Amino acid sequence: MEAFLDFLANIPWWVWILFFILLVAIRDIFFQKAHTISHNYPVVGHLRYWLESIGPEMRQYFVANNREELPFNRIERSWIYASAKKENNYEGFGTDRDIYKHQHIFIKNAMIGFQSPKDHTNTKHPYFLPCAKVMGAYNQRKKPYRPASIINVSAMSFGSLSAAAIESLNAGVEKCGAYHNTGEGGLSPYHKQGGDVIFHFGTGYFGVRSKDGGFSMDKLKVLVDENPCIKAIEIKLSQGAKPGKGGVLPGSKITPELAEIRGVEVGVDVISPPTHKAFSTIPELMDLIESIAEETGLPVGIKGAVGKVDQWQELADLMKKTGKGPDFITIDGGEGGTGAAPPSFADHVSLPWSYGFTSVYKIFLDHGLTERIVFIGSGKLGFPGKAAMAFAMGADCINVAREAMMSIGCIQAQVCHTNRCPAGVATQSKWRQSGINVPLKSDRLAQYFNTFKKEFLEITHAAGYEHPCQFHMEDIQVNVDDDYLSSDIRKIYKYQKDKVPFTSMQDLYQCEHLGGKKELN
Ligand SMILES: Cc1cc2nc3c(=O)[nH]c(=O)nc-3n(C[C@H](O)[C@H](O)[C@H](O)COP(=O)(O)O)c2cc1C
């Protein structure tokens, strides 16, 4: 035995390496049946799989230029990271964009911009930028709500995001007066860190689900009564990344905590169908909206991605006829994000935000209904320039999902669907999320939102206005094509945005329905 051990010890290290390579080659050729490349090119074939797996990171760090990547390029990501960390978010030497490029957006500045008087509300509160409309005011809901921030956290559930991420987002919105949309997964304890909440439900009715998987009004009433942080309810019809796509939450992922929050059984598969059980026609949807508003006293809205517009038309007709309807409408763009979706849906189903929003807004404008509705936009709008265009088209608020994720550390690894998010944001792994420092990350979200609001206000002032609700279609110009070169968006989309009633920032500050914590706004 000793002689054998001596023999092994005397084998040079490089012979061990050759031996190992030989074993891998034998496995590749004779035993594994899954990979043709490894079979035909034993050992070296592995390099291909390895290089393929690190390709996205290599391209992100070394190869892609500043404006190349999607969904968010390096300049956009860096602006969010720097804003969230309160670092220098300026760029030097001028823009690196080709500003003659198709679809480039221009905001028309005034010859002499808006001059704030010394005692202006924004002199004392530089980050105060609330919604100019009140949700539920027209329909005289019992508890109308004015979002205290025009930028807010879009629907993302506990389940698609980690507990630490949800906690950071909620504590963050509290610090800057914004609201936090729960997403489809129900209201979790992590959503209750002090921020305003919009409770959102989809076809799975998580958190307000009856035994047979339908909608339970009783559960919603209890939820709203027990949680005064809920300021409004959003019924999800669809989202831009996967309209009409149902889903299955595998029983293996349903822990006792998730089951309790979502109102489902531990370990049993749960199906979210592609459409709702609670309604199947527009009049039934209207009835549901009215009964939820009646029972809870809260403003009720809908969220949808836009494709065909005939049912939007039917909704507007019915609103006109009955004098009732949703208090807010969230329009999500086809460029919107998701925790997981088939590429065929994410790439092709539903219109991008500008096309979808304008076609729906126009319908409500033609019916004279815009004043009743708070219009919310989502789809890569978390940048002040893009938000200015959205407001000029008729948006009253914007929701951001991935931009908010980035402010708390997401690096756009695009692996939300694998549970292996390296930043701990979109994962349920306890280890990965333990790296998230909630107080620090919540500060970062608040700083990103505050920087956004400040910069957006500066752009608004440069255009000669006090509040972005005063932007109109002729304030924004877009490069169209070689024949027309460039045109204001009124000519492109063929409507003028309805005037939003606005008196002064001070009046908004004093509004009795203003959300957020007054002392923190
Ligand atoms: C991780 C993740 C989870 C999401 N979950 C939901 C959801 O539960 N319900 C929903 O309506 N939209 C959901 N969305 C879509 C976002 O709310 C938002 O509409 C979309 O991402 C566009 O905003 P963005 O471009 O700022 O990311 C999710 C998006 C992401 C990235």
Q: How far apart are CA 398 and CA 74, in angstroms?
A: 22
pTM, two decimal places: 0.93
Residue 191, Cβ density class (10 Å: 0-12 exposed, 13-18 middle, ≥19 buried) = buried
228 C-alpha vs ligand 1 centroid, how far in Å? 24
Q: Is the CB of 242 under 6 A from ligand 1?
A: no
| Per-residue pLDDT tens digits of the chain, which is 521 residues long | 888 889 988 999 999 999 999 999 999 999 999 999 999 999 999 998 899 888 888 888 888 888 888 999 999 999 999 999 999 999 899 999 999 998 999 999 999 999 999 999 999 999 999 999 999 999 999 999 999 999 999 999 999 999 999 999 999 999 999 999 999 999 999 999 999 999 999 999 999 999 999 999 999 999 999 999 999 999 999 999 999 998 877 777 788 998 999 999 988 888 889 999 999 999 999 999 999 999 999 999 999 999 999 999 999 999 999 999 999 999 999 999 999 899 999 999 999 999 999 999 999 999 999 999 999 999 999 999 999 999 999 999 999 999 999 999 999 999 998 889 999 999 999 999 999 999 999 999 999 999 999 999 999 999 999 999 999 999 999 998 766 678 899 999 999 999 999 999 999 999 999 999 766 66
**Sign of the torsion formed by the C-alpha atoms of 403, 408, 411 and 417:** negative
Question: Ligand 1 within 6 A of 339 CB?
Answer: yes
Nearest C-alpha neighbor of 101 from the set 383, 489, 355, 478: 478
Using CB atoms within 10 Å of the CB of residue 107, give its burial: 0 to 12 exposed, 13 to 18 middle, 19+ buried.
middle
pLDDT at residue number 484 = 67
Q: Which atom of ligand 1 lies nearest, measured to the CA of 238?
A: 11
* 45 CA from centroid of ligand 1 (Å): 38
Contacting residues for 285 by C-beta, under 8 A, at least 6 apart: 235, 237, 279, 302, 315
- Residue 46 C-alpha to ligand 1 middle, in angstroms? 36
Ligand 1 site, residue 151, Cβ cutoff 6 A: no
Instruction: Determine the pLDDT at residue 520.
Output: 64
pLDDT at 247: 80
Cα 380 from Cα 356, distance rounded (Å)? 14
Instruction: Please give the Cα distance from 515 to 181 (Å, whole number).
Output: 14
pLDDT of 519 reads 63
Query: Residue 346 Cα, ligand 1 centroid: separation in angstroms?
Result: 12
378 Cβ below 6 A of ligand 1? yes
CA 122 – ligand 1 centroid, Å: 31
